[in-house]
Amino acid sequence: MKISNEFYQRENVVLIAAELLGKHLYTNIDGQLTAGIIVETEAYKGPEDLGSHAYNHRRTSRNEMMYAAGGVAYMYICYGIHDMLNIVTGAENSSHAVLIRALEPSEGVDIMRHRRKIYNDDTKLCKGPGALAKAMGLNKTHNGISLQGDEVWLEDKLIHVDKENVVAAPRIGLNISEPYKSIPWRFYIGGNRFISRN
């Protein structure tokens, strides 16, 4: 069963980022079903967060989807190369989002291998946000897509993630001032082989 919009539309994006660990992300693109268990996320907390595209209420055609009510995808291209999947959270105009950083492949692995041209190491298929978007068939055309639809959605399959196994760490690749450079808003399942880095 799809996770309801009520889950996404809560205000605490940091809590949501941690709670997304263990949830299943599904895509059905051109009739090809793929899925993976979310093992790494990063929270971006709207206008106060120097790391957020919506810092200081910045609003552009690129980040407009961040201002939607939670429960849609915010897709953007990083470095002109990598598509990045974010899940918008909070009420309309909150501009919070969670970057999905890594998945443990669970369904449609052969499809992922073909999309990524990687056939000998499944741990690399969805390791990092650009890699997982490509493996799952996602790109900027999916910006704004509802997570209640039949192309992209999340399910809670009751995979139990012990709180003791959830690691909170600084986000990756942000050249910004403190405290937001070191604030522990990246979450991952400790010891999981599929995370982007320890």
Q: What is the pLDDT of residues 29-55, one digit of tens each?
A: 999 999 999 999 999 999 999 999 999
Q: What is the DSSP letter of 90?
A: S
Residue 196 lies in a domain: no
Q: What is the pLDDT of residues 138-196, one digit of tens each?
A: 999 999 999 999 999 999 986 778 888 999 999 998 999 999 999 999 999 999 999 99
- Looking up residue 26, the CATH number of its domain turns out to be 3.10.300.10
Residue 195 lies in a domain: no
The domain total for the chain is: 1
The domain in which residue 103 lies consists of 5-189
pLDDT at 22 over 70: yes
Do 68 and 144 touch, CB atoms closer than 8 A? yes
Residue 95 lies in a domain: yes
DSSP string, 98-151: EEEEEEEEEE-HHHHHHHHT--S-GGGTTBSHHHHHHHTT--GGGTT-BTTSSS
Cα distances (angstroms) measured from residue 95 to each of 9, 154, 162: 11, 20, 29
Which residue bears the tokens 């200081």?
56
Model's pTM, two decimal places? 0.96
Residue 198 lies in a domain: no
Residue 194 lies in a domain: no
Do 64 and 86 touch, CB atoms closer than 8 A? no
Q: What is the pLDDT of residues 110-123, one digit of tens each?
A: 999 999 999 999 99
Residue 178 lies in a domain: yes
Q: Could you tell me if residue 38 is left (phi over 0), alpha (psi between -120 and 50 degrees) or otherwise beta?
A: beta
Residue 157 lies in a domain: yes
Q: What is the DSSP letter of 72?
A: B
What pLDDT does residue 115 have?
98
Residue 150 lies in a domain: yes
